[in-house]
Amino acid sequence: MNSRGRTGTVKAALKRTAIDLLYPRRCMICHGPAPWGEYICPECEPELPVIESRRCRKCGKPVEDFEALCPDCEKNPHQYDRGIGIYRYDSVMREAVSYLKYKGRREYGEAMGIYAAESARSELMTWNPEIIVPIPIHPARLRERGYNQAEVIARAVSEESGIRMAPDALQRKDTTSAMKNLSVRERYSNLSKVLVAGPGLSGIRSALIVDDIYTTGATVDAGARVLRDAGISRIYFLSVCIGGGFMVSY
């Protein structure tokens, strides 16, 4: 338990305890067994690269003291209203995310979701979104990986915050067009074409998009545009990591 405390429901806590008995969790930083009931070793927790500096008032990226918006948000009118990422995408988080995505360490996603929800508790209370929407991954990745890492994170955020999970609100069409060689702008327009709104969104006014990494915002923007077209007027995002540069991550 860290100093920020936890708000998870009793049901969620019991479920986690049952899972602990069956599969002892590993710490996402040292990859050793995590202490009983914990997600990260107490010695490893200080290594989490929490962003403590001033943040861009739109996307939450770290900014210089005199800036209200980061250079990205100065240039791009984003499709979402506001968002926040919790950790810098440094070598520690890069490794943790890669274990989550490529080495089957699903529990790292749970840990990330719990920590992200705790860290963004005041934002979540202010924004008060009705549903939590994970960014879907490519169907081929899903088949190969067995889970969508953003959905694992989003479920933990949902259990921790009590906000309803809407796992199918955004869906990804099965396209095989390689996006590797496309520019950021081309990827963005491509992504807008592959994401579609799922059923059950009528009457929903606000949503929180959840993803593992926010870089340029292209992915979140594509999702936000689809949700806005489906009638949702207030759209926020919560990402575990926030990176700089122009690398779009899937």
Binding site for Zn ion (CB under 5 A): 27, 29-30, 41, 44, 56, 58-59, 61, 70, 73
- Rounded least distance, CB 30 to Zn ion, Å: 3
- Closest approach, Cβ 237 to Zn ion, in A, equals 11
With CA atoms as reference, report the closest residue to 153 among 91, 92, 237.
237
Count the helices and strands in the chain (H runs, E runs): 9, 7
CB of 217 to Zn ion, least distance (A): 8
> Nearer to Zn ion by C-beta: 85 or 136?
85
At its nearest, how many Å lie between Zn ion and the CB of residue 200?
Answer: 31
Q: How far is the CB of 74 from Zn ion (least distance, A)?
A: 8
Whichever of 226 and 242 has its CB closer to Zn ion, that residue is 242
Angle formed at CA 58 by CA 240 and CA 89, multiple of 5 degrees: 30
Q: Which is nearer to Zn ion, 62 or 139 (CB)?
A: 62
Question: Among residues 166 and 209, whose Cβ is nearest to Zn ion?
Answer: 209
Q: Alpha-carbon distance 5 to 3, whole Å?
A: 5
Residue closer to Zn ion by CB (options 204, 222) is 222
Give CA separation, 199 vs 79, 142, 162, 186, 230, in Å.
21, 20, 21, 27, 10
**Around Cβ 188, how many Cβ atoms within 10 Å?**
19
Sign of CA dihedral 110, 114, 120, 121: positive
